[in-house]
């Protein structure tokens, strides 16, 4: 078993994820794993960074596939005895002009962005070593989508006592409500991506609370963040930030010093804690 620290970035063969791997390769004192669903694309991204003089490693990971997540978990456990930094970056978004029916967009978007991210956390958070850092990449859209929810839903999503089971029920209800075409009547905003990122932000708050209850002495810090509006395949060429600029806040949270006790359980944008 290796004593080398290890960092893993999900969905990192392009865009913000690739930029996070690049920055960690320069700043993190250990092994950095670039992961992607498609091994070919992942290996190509690794080769690109190697040409820049960096030394990322590759492991296949499809966050929609529980077996793929568990294969990564077992590999990390065996080789490193755990994990020091986890950046949950993998995510999808339909284009505004996409004609896919909204209920399908809702189901597909939540499957990856919320349920896939949650499965990664379920399998990998128990492997976090003391002083570990977990960064769940959310979006400012989660804040605006929260503002578009009914007062009742806002109260639930802002609750300091909401459980993971209750959050899962709400995310499933959104998908079901879109299928019945009653989601707006039921108080939901008309954005599947926004609701999926509400899920990620609230999940992060719940996970941080559970870490406080179950692993208080381990000094693990877990946060959600918004990278900003970044020029990627997802956000398009008009966005204001480069991928490297978008990586700044996630990398800042991934590399919080060992004597830091905050931020934890927060929503962070531009390295600043934002109200939820």
Compute the distance between CA of residue 215 and CA of residue 220 in angstroms, rounded to an integer: 8
The residue from 33, 80, 131, 193 that is catalytic is 193
Compute the distance between CA of residue 273 and CA of residue 31 in angstroms, rounded to an integer: 28
Active site residue 80: no
Among left, alpha and beta (phi > 0; psi -120 to 50; other), residue 38 is: beta
- Cα–Cα nearest to 21, from 59, 69, 64: 59
Say if CB 271 and CB 252 are below 8 A apart: yes
Question: Phi/psi of residue 61, each to 5°?
Answer: -155, 120
Compute the distance between CA of residue 76 and CA of residue 124 in angstroms, rounded to an integer: 9
Compute the distance between CA of residue 209 and CA of residue 265 in angstroms, rounded to an integer: 7
Instruction: Burial-class residue 109 by CB neighbours within 10 Å (0-12, 13-18, 19+).
Output: buried
Q: Which two tokens stand for residue 189?
A: 């905003």
Q: Which two tokens stand for residue 46?
A: 């690794």
Cα Dmax for the chain: 54
Q: Which two tokens stand for residue 84?
A: 């020091």
Residues noted as catalytic:
193
């Amino acid at each position: 078993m290796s004593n080398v620290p290890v960092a893993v970035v999900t969905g990192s063969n392009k865009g913000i994820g690739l930029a996070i791997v690049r920055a960690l390769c320069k700043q993190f004192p250990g092994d950095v794993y670039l992961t992607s669903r498609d091994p070919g694309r992942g290996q190509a991204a690794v080769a690109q960074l190697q040409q820049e003089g960096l030394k990322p490693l590759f492991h296949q990971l499809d966050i929609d596939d529980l077996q793929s997540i568990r294969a990564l978990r077992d590999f990390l456990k065996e080789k490193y005895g755990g994990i020091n930094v986890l950046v949950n970056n993998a995510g999808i978004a339909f284009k505004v002009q996409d004609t896919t029916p909204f209920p399908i967009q809702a189901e597909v978007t939540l499957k990856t962005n919320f349920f896939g991210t949650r499965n990664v956390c379920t399998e990998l958070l128990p492997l976090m070593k003391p002083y570990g850092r977990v960064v769940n990449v959310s979006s400012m859209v989660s804040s605006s989508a929260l503002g578009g929810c009914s007062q009742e839903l806002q109260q639930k999503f802002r609750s300091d006592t909401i459980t993971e089971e209750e959050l899962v029920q709400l995310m499933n209800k959104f998908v079901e409500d879109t299928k019945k075409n009653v989601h707006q009547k039921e108080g939901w905003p008309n954005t599947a991506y926004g609701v999926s990122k509400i899920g990620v932000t609230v999940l992060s708050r719940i996970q941080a609370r559970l870490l406080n209850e179950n692993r208080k002495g381990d000094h693990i810090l877990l946060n959600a963040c918004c990278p900003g509006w970044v020029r990627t395949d997802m956000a398009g060429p008009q966005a204001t930030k480069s991928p490297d600029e978008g990586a700044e806040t996630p990398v800042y949270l991934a590399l919080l010093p060992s004597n830091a006790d905050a931020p934890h359980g927060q929503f962070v944008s531009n390295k600043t804690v934002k109200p939820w």
